[in-house]
Structure 1
Amino acid sequence: MFKFPPQGPRRLRIVGLGALALLVASAAVAPASSANPAASTAEKATVDVAAPPGVDEIASSSNLRQIANIPKPGPFNTTAALNSDLAFQDRYVFAGNYDGFVIYDVKNPARPSIVSQVLCPGSQNDITVYGDLLFLSTDSPRSDDSCSSTGVPSSQTVWEGIKIFDIKNKKAPRYIKSVETACGSHTHTLVPGKDRKSVYLYVSSYGPSSTYAGCPTPHDSISIIKVPVKKPTDAAVVAVPDLFAADGGGNPGGNGSSTTSGCHDITVFASKDLAAGACMGDGILLDIRDREAPRVINRVRDTTNFAFWHSATFNNAGTKVVFTDELGGGSGATCVESVEPTRGANAVYDITGRGDGRKLVFKSYFKIPRLNTSLENCVAHNGSLIPVLGRDIMVQAWYQGGISVWDFTDSARPVELGYWERGPLSETERIIGGSWSAYWYNGHIYSNDIQKGLDVLEVRDWRLWSAQLTKYKEFNPQTQPTYWGGL
């Protein structure tokens, strides 16, 4: 997501093998013809919308429908208070907002309710959870590390970094610790420690400047915070690895893509000791066997079509990575006829080779096949895999381009399976809005809409039947779980 100028133990439960066999048999005998409603839905799912929906109108394929919405609660109900990322635990959804976070109870997904709300300004408030702990990113210069801090000019930076909350009591979260990090924390990724006694945060930040007091140049690094689970108040930065030193620095920019000065987002596949980093002008693959010393084993650039490497998602087997390009910084109208379908899109890469010889090999681009108006910010943004047996399918947010479900099992020929979107927020001006994050969690899609609040979508599609068998106890989308044993 764009940066505003400064103001001055995942656990997976699978149903029994008997139920699995029954569902496999049911899917096998389902006729793939137009007489089958599910098959008919599949055929219609990728039809383009001839005309974008009007202001606040909803358009969708027949296999996705909204079942709930909770508007942003006050004081988050202003245009400037942008909703951001999501995390999940048991029956709860944790939703970041530039002014704090909200905890929702989604035991009944069709009737979510607000459990608590914490006012704690500090964009973007990227969010993760682990047991009784909640972690929140602050990436704007603040007067101090409290939740009553005020914004200050970057030349006077006092504090940016990670805030830690105790969420044992979901109705009354407690702020217990802060950890300052270089250049703040635009996003962070939760990485389970191998001894289960600690959890790590890989903190991504960027935008250094000779006049930025908390973020001088150069900045080709990430910060690694170690959090002792039983004593989180001892959390501290334990390493600040330079990810690009071995290759003479990151992308210098001026070549059709961004200058690399840090990373925007990192996704870890902890069970495979792998991570993928989206680092502004570079996409990287990392070995994270040593959690405190990640190593870059391959780096790729795309100076033709990628403007800003934003985020990454592995497939089920850890043999592919989907990188997103946030062309226009999240505020641009890039889903219009004048912008090529290879711009502001996803790029699918296969991972070839073994060990340190692994390489990222480009296979294709994917962009939603519908046009938006010039009044809608639209570009590839946050999404997650849908745990479908034997397929690589993900759900993804596209800001005001809505929510897309697409299949990249064939790396060279990705295809959309369904979509859901709202029309623009205004008839006369472009207001930043739309789905910031769209994730699959325990049978439903949850979307944090920047302006409209929490949306819950139901999916009815026979191709996704096996996803209903996966139940999480905890889910942080950038901490990627293994589905189906990595099939």
Structure 2
Amino acid sequence: MAQAPADPGTPPGVDEIASTPNLKQVAYLPKTGPFASSFNTDWAFKGKYAYGGNYNGFTVYDIRNPKAPTVAAQVVCPGSQNDVSIYGNLLFLGTDSQRTNDSCDNAGSTAAVPGDRWEGIKIFDISDPLTPAYVKSVKTICGSHTQTLVPGKRRDRSVYLYVSSYNLAAADQPNCALPHDKISIVRVPLRTPADAAVVATPVLFPDGGYGGGTGQSPTTGCHDITAYPEKDIAAGACMGDGVLFDISDRTAPKVITTVRDTVNFAFWHSATFNNKATKVVFTDELGGGAGATCNTTVGPNRGADAIYDIVGRGAKRKLEFRSYFKIPRANTDTENCVAHNGSLIPVPGRDIMVQAWYQGGVSVWDFTNSRKPKEIAYWERGPISATTLVLGGSWSAYWYNGYIYSNDIVKGLDVLQLNDRRTNSARWARTDLFNAQTQDNYRHW
């Protein structure tokens, strides 16, 4: 690919690359086979393998050499979005579209009676990453747009999945009747994962949540929940509400506090704690991720991240707004761009995050000072088309064992390497398991 002009104020051309000198692409693998024409989605990592979701299933990448990754296996199992999470030797695949059945040989279903349509969680055994084996399915109300792993406490040899789903239609839908103000909690016994089942469907918003407004989504479910199990808390991005939960009782999360932004936030999309769990970064997926919102017309506060400090203790904790962060570059009007999925970079004493912005690329930014966040690196491709708005770009960009892995919706896998004095101490941090929605204290890595 061609290198774009060095001037950050000049957007790169079609398929050109633009970046700061401290962030470089070190590997690229295009989508192949049955996934070439369907969207890439989220990541999970275990050991020397990266598991990349795709609307047609998931790909297993061998990343023993991050600069020369290879495709180790592909599992064809259609169903949007097919976000992935991993615990032990189990992989969980989330389906948020009504299917004819719960097997991997299925099709989209809108004609069958609602009770005969399937959506929810599929469980795979990845003891051998080269041959994942289908174990079990669990049907959930309204499907699984995202799922969050929460390990059981003490002697509870289980893992719990907080299954987030929502109803954007604001009307009763097959498999997703209103009021949809709940999540599904799936318990997976680790010794007998085939016994996995829904054990609770707690109502999180007994008052119905935010009713919505002009350009703002009502709360009819949650899009994403990020748990910090060591701290017994979770942060929910629930369409019209940002939420802090107490999850000390794994099957009965309790709302500690709720915040709303009726000026700039359109759709509360995801959340990330800092390592000390004293802050939360919420993302706003303005336009559903399909619009060209990183331009001067939209401005710096809409479609941005919002940084909140957690103040107080226990049940009296509150979320206090500090600032917004948005990439400081104007994209073209043919590039979908808005805050999307990212993770912390394990730099002791600093709050630094890598984040995907669709066709806005990959941004590395520092929010140690909650009131003055700043970008320290970026990498991006130019638009897919110079004349037509085409959905694409980085869906998820996560730090894992010294490298940044980006799952590009239409292009494939990008591996980036960051070389910066502010983050170089993270090069040697190592973990054997990474799920972005289940945060670990990286001091223990």
1:198 aligns with 2:158: yes
- How high is the TM-score relative to the length of structure 1? 0.88
Matched, 1:277 2:236: yes
Shift in CA distance, 469/447, structure 1 to aligned 2, threshold 3 Å: same
1:298 touches 1:360 (CA, 8 Å); kept in 2?
A: yes
Match of 1:231 in 2: 192
Task: Look up the equivalent residue of 2:369 and give its one-letter code.
Answer: D
Aligned to 2:54: 97
| 1:211 Cα deviation after fit | 4.6
Could you tell me how far 1:315 is from its partner in structure 2?
0.3
Query: Where does the alignment leave 5 or more consecutive residues of structure 2 unmatched?
Result: 1-5
CA distance in 2, matches of 1:373, 1:227: 45
SS at 2:98's partner residue?
strand
Give the counterpart of 2:89 among 97, 121, 132: 132
Task: Verify: 1:111 aligned to 2:68, yes or no.
Answer: yes
1:163 equivalent to 2:163? Answer no
Which of 170, 173, 178 is matched with 1:217 structurally?
Answer: 178
Residue 108 of structure 2 corresponds to: 151
Report what 2:3 is aligned to.
none
1:156 Cα shift?
A: 3.9
Q: How does 1:169-318 map to 2 (within 5 A)?
A: 169-194=128-153, 195=155, 197-207=157-167, 210-245=171-206, 248-318=207-277
Query: For 1:77 and 1:429, how far apart are their aligned partners in 2?
Result: 20
Residue of structure 2 aligned with 1:60, choices 1, 19, 25: 19
| Distance in structure 2 (CA, Å) of the matches to 1:156 and 1:59 | 50
Other structure's SS at 2:424 match: helix
CA distance in 2, matches of 1:254, 1:73: 42
Which AA in structure 2 matches 1:150? A
- Distance verdict in 2 for CA 1:210–1:369, change over 3 Å: closer
Instruction: Determine the C-alpha separation between the residues in 2 that align with 1:262 and 1:159.
Output: 19
Measure the CA separation in 2 of the matches of 1:280 and 1:407: 25
Shift of 1:468: 1.8
CA deviations over 1:341-389 (Å, ceiling 9, x no partner): 0000000000000000000000000000001111100000000000001
* 2:185 aligned partner, one-letter code: I
Is 1:466 the counterpart of 2:425? The answer is yes
The amino acid that maps onto 1:237 is: V
C-alpha displacement of 1:274:
0.5
Aligned-residue CA RMSD in angstroms? 1.4
SS in 1 for 2:221: coil
1:433 equivalent in structure 2: 392
Aligned match for 1:69, one of 2, 20, 28? 28
Tell me the secondary structure at the aligned position of residue 463 of structure 1: coil
Structure 1 SS opposite 2:34: coil
Write out the 4+ residue segments of structure 1 that deviate beyond 6 Å after TM superposition: none
Letter matched to residue 287 of structure 1: D
Deviations 1:183-232 (A, max 9, x none): 00000001111135100000000016655221111100000000001100
Deviation at 1:428, TM superposition (A): 2.1
Identity %: 64
C-alpha displacement at 1:466, in angstroms?
1.8
| Contact in 1 for aligned 2:28/2:415 (Cα 8 Å) | yes
CA distance in structure 2 between the partners assigned to 1:97 and 1:485 by the alignment: 31
Which residue of the partner structure matches residue 481 of structure 1? Answer: 440
**8 Å CA contact retained: 2:213, 2:262:** no
Q: Trace 1:378-393 onto structure 2 (pairs within 5 A).
A: 378-393=337-352
Q: CA deviation at 1:465?
A: 1.9
Q: 2:13, 2:383 within 8 Å by CA — same for their partners in 1?
A: yes
For residues 400 and 210 of structure 1, the distance between their equivalents in structure 2, rounded to whole angstroms, comes to 32
Which secondary structure does the structure 1 equivalent of 2:160 belong to? strand
The higher radius of gyration belongs to 1
SS in 2 for 1:284: strand
Following the alignment from structure 1 to structure 2, what is the Cα–Cα distance between the partners of residues 477 and 171?
Answer: 23
What amino acid does structure 2 have at the position aligned with 1:215?
A: C
Q: Tell me the distance in 2 between the aligned counterparts of 1:127 and 1:353.
A: 34
SS in 2 for 1:468: helix
Listed one character per residue, the Cα deviations across residues 250-296 of structure 1 (whole Å, up to 9, x for unaligned) are 10012552100000000000000000000000000000000000000
Of 406, 411, 428, which aligns to 1:447?
406
More helix by share: 1
Residue 154 of structure 1 contacts residue 214 of structure 1 at CA under 8 Å; is this kept in 2? no
Q: Among residues 328, 331, 335, which one is paired with 1:376 in the alignment?
A: 335
